[in-house]
Structure 1
């Protein structure tokens, strides 16, 4: 007989960490973003103190292998939509690129161009679209119907036949969740891109748009 003791043992918590991502009860991921931004900033500090010589090639190698992974791990789950969180992440890359002495006094956009680095916001968008490609092409163990609404797609309509139906959302949080925020950009991609043998062409077309 169940005496209800299992219910009394349940604890109400405001946040939980799962597979390296901090989930809070609001699902805005503000604390997670703050945590990874601080961690990446500390790594930038270690690099700055450790390496006496820093040119563009050395910086890119270190940054891509030691810093950026902290800022991008599982970002399809927690991708920010609040300006303060977007700016908090971009500020890490903005400061990091100043490590290169020859670029220190140039504007951020110029530093990115000379280093051949995109903004983190662009990287998140590209990552989202690659994730969509993998799901729709069954390259990951995720059931398409549980992630996206594809029910009204009809072959022969303008555009490609893998368009995602964007649902009517009444909250900003829902509008910016993965399955909804990807719809507009994904649906605008050419058929040749969404049906390509690999997600590689996505980057090329995003560069043309952005």
Structure 2
């Protein structure tokens, strides 16, 4: 990630000048990164781990009451599914669905909720979908960076356009250093953390985008109040036909609400 002028074609080197060997995967702080930047191996890993943990919890504890079930899920499963999600949050619907099924299946075991579909269970439990939670994190993190509350590692730049504050970035270049960028790589840039954060932040109402010089908790309250009006209906398994928006992303759900 970085501005086009700072991207170098030459191999990366250590401080001593030795060339860093290129590998297909690397694990850093518990996150498995692939050279294709899709994080599929990491996602498969945490999905498998979460399925195993779900089975262990359901076999160990006989209760299916809502409060203890949600405590178990939040403590032992959701923490796995959300660790460092700002880095690896997927954009392929297949990976989004793999993650979402963990919460979908676990909540179906709660006493009294087994007859409700997943969308109904989310409302009954006052839960966000996992996809909505990841996007919410992206928005909060973007706001913190442009406010200077955290290090602006994504290089986000906010500008006033009239009365509205927006995050702006340069167009994705066609080529760098005389070499044309492949369409696949342009797609990866489009779906990078910085670009996703930009799109999600800019789709917020002007009143929320303009919030400044306050605490993160205050920003969260305004954001959550607005999000309560935006449908959170994951297009997973057989639920897709019942969701009018292109995807369940805040970006598409908000745009659909505006045009219908």
* Shared fold per TM-score greater than 0.5: yes
Contact 2:146 2:157 in 1 (8 A): no
More strand by share: 2
More helix by share: 1
| Distance verdict in 2 for CA 1:128–1:192, change over 3 Å | closer
Of 24, 35, 53, 1:43 maps to 53
Contact 1:60 1:115 in 2 (8 A): no
| Distance verdict in 2 for CA 1:102–1:192, change over 3 Å | closer
Gaps of 5+ in 2: 1-17, 173-182, 232-260
Q: 1:80 Cα shift?
A: 0.3
CA distance in structure 2 between the partners assigned to 1:154 and 1:48 by the alignment: 51
**Bigger mean CA offset, 95-104 vs 195-204:** 195-204
| Distance verdict in 2 for CA 1:186–1:65, change over 3 Å | same
| Distance verdict in 2 for CA 1:178–1:189, change over 3 Å | farther
Contact 2:63 2:69 in 1 (8 A): no
Corresponding residue for 1:63? 73
Of 105, 117, 127, 1:107 maps to 117
Alignment of 1:39-188 (within 5 A): 39-142=49-152, 147-150=155-158, 153-154=159-160, 157-160=162-165, 163-169=166-172, 171-187=186-202, 188=204
For normalisation by structure 2, the TM-score amounts to: 0.69
For normalisation by structure 1, the TM-score amounts to: 0.85
Cα offsets for 1:4-37 (capped at 9, x unmatched): xx55xx5432100001111100000011111011
Gaps of 5+ in 1: 1-5
Cα offsets for 1:87-139 (capped at 9, x unmatched): 10011111111221322232111122222211111101111011112212222
**Bigger mean CA offset, 196-205 vs 28-37:** 196-205
Corresponding residue for 2:40? 30
Q: 1:192 Cα shift?
A: 4.8
**Bigger mean CA offset, 33-42 vs 191-200:** 191-200
CA distance in structure 1 between the partners assigned to 2:207 and 2:116 by the alignment: 40
RMSD across aligned positions (CA): 2.1
Contact 1:55 1:100 in 2 (8 A): yes
Contact 1:54 1:99 in 2 (8 A): yes
CA distance in structure 2 between the partners assigned to 1:106 and 1:56 by the alignment: 14
Contact 1:167 1:180 in 2 (8 A): no
Over 4 Å off, 4+ runs: none
**Bigger mean CA offset, 199-208 vs 12-21:** 199-208
Contact 1:165 1:183 in 2 (8 A): yes
Report the number of matched residues: 197
